[in-house]
Amino acid sequence: MSSPLPAQVRGSKLARFNALPAEAAERALLHCCGSHRWAHRVAAHRPYPDLAALLAAADEASYDLAPADLTEALAVECSTELHEGAPYAAHLALDAAHAEYERKFGHAFVICLAGHPAEEHPDMVLAGIRRRMAHEEDEERSISADELRRLARARLSVLARMPESFDAVRPESPCSPLWDSPSVPV
Our count of domains for the chain comes to 2
Tens of pLDDT, residue by residue over 162-177, are: 756 455 555 445 554 4
For 47-99, what is each residue's pLDDT tens digit? Answer: 999 999 999 999 999 999 999 999 999 999 988 777 777 788 888 999 999 99
- 83 and 137: one domain? yes
For the stretch 6-61, pLDDT in tens is: 444 545 788 888 999 999 999 999 999 999 999 999 999 999 999 999 999 999 99
Q: In this structure, is residue 186 part of a structural domain?
A: no
In this structure, are 69 and 17 located in the same domain? yes
Predicted TM-score (pTM) of the model is: 0.83
Residue 56: which of 70, 68, 41, 34 has the closest Cα? 41
DSSP, residue by residue, 96-152: HHHHHHHHHHSS------TTS-GGGHHHHHHHHHHHHTTS-HHHHHHHHHHHHHHHH
Domain that holds residue 153: 13-73+145-168
